[in-house]
Amino acid sequence: MALTSIGWTDISLNPGVYGCSEVGPDCSRCYAAVQAARLAHMGMSRYMGLTHETVSGMHWNGTVRVNYREIAVAFSKLPKRKPARVFVTSMADLFHDDVPDDFLDQCFAHMAVRPHLTFQILTKRTARMRRYFERPDLGMIIRNLHALAPDALRRGANSNRVTLPLPNVWLGTSAGRQDLLEQRIGDLLATHAVEWFLSLEPLLGPLDIRPYLGTACESCGATAPDVDWCALDSSYADGHVIAVDNPMIRMSRTNCGPAWKNSANLDAKKNELTNVTSPTTR
């Protein structure tokens, strides 16, 4: 666990995932790969053997390791009562294919027993994330793991019941170009979550997220947003971002069953734009 300078979160948490592989051109300046190489060079064995250097810089070599024993240890270090936003797996991609489902089950069970914390999951592998959350047995698995949590934690969660989607888990994807966003966002928005978010960094080309901001209610015609909020790397904004005015707005969603009932109050939330200044991904 570490306090972080990332503007849209309070704490970054790595529950035991090490390594990654690139899934698109917007991975080419992966901050995590550079950090992993640095930490390996400093002698941290868990980061050794994960990266290689090319003429374009440091990259992951595709090795991914998970350490189940670190899950409980990492979550136990989080604030016990104080609310905070927690960015889970800032140094890898939690939904990498080499992260097993039962590892994810344990992570989400730990999130379920900490309702005072908001967990932010950012992935470029939205198809895998969607498959994971569509598993019919997922609720039962997380409930079973939840029941094994210490009494004190279960009391913190108020009851032994776990409902999906978890009310304190936000799901997001990052993309640096329109085609990459379109590859990923469909699966994100098809995955049930209380909040959906985007991270548009590093910007490699034009991006317009207006198509993902609102869908008309079939019964009343009102418009409600899809994406709830968006983080933008302002250092790349020169002329590339088309839809900065409206998209960088956090919006509330009101569910009216199969369709949307209430229009979103866009203006009321205008000030929640988050500028991210890191010039690298993740």
**Site membership for ligand SF4, residue 124 (CB under 6 A):** yes
Nearer to ligand SF4, 92 or 188 (CB): 92
136: left (phi over 0), alpha (psi -120 to 50) or beta: alpha
Beta bridge partners of 198: 173, 230
What secondary structure letter does DSSP report for 7? T
**Site membership for ligand SF4, residue 51 (CB under 6 A):** no
Burial zone of 231 (CB within 10 Å; 0-12 exposed, 13-18 middle, 19+ buried): buried
6, 11, 17, 20: which one binds ligand SF4 (CB under 6 A): 20
**Site membership for ligand SF4, residue 95 (CB under 6 A):** no
Nearer to ligand SF4, 180 or 189 (CB): 180
60, 119, 133, 196: which one binds ligand SF4 (CB under 6 A): 60
Helix (H) or strand (E) holding 59: strand 57-60
Please name which of 79, 118, 91, 128 lies closest in space to residue 16, comparing C-alpha atoms: 91
User: What is the footprint of ligand SF4 within residues 208-237 (CB under 6 A)?
Assistant: none
**Site membership for ligand SF4, residue 93 (CB under 6 A):** yes
CA 245 to CA 238: how far, in whole Å?
14
**Site membership for ligand SF4, residue 27 (CB under 6 A):** yes
Q: What is the DSSP string of 88-109?
A: E-TTS-TT-TTS-HHHHHHHHH
CB 22 → ligand SF4: shortest distance, Å? 5
Interface region with ligand SF4, contact rule CB under 6 A, candidates 26-34, 147-155, 160-168, 264-272: 26-34
**Site membership for ligand SF4, residue 92 (CB under 6 A):** yes
Interface residue list for ligand SF4 (CB under 6 A): 20, 22-23, 27, 30, 32-33, 60, 92-93, 124, 281-282
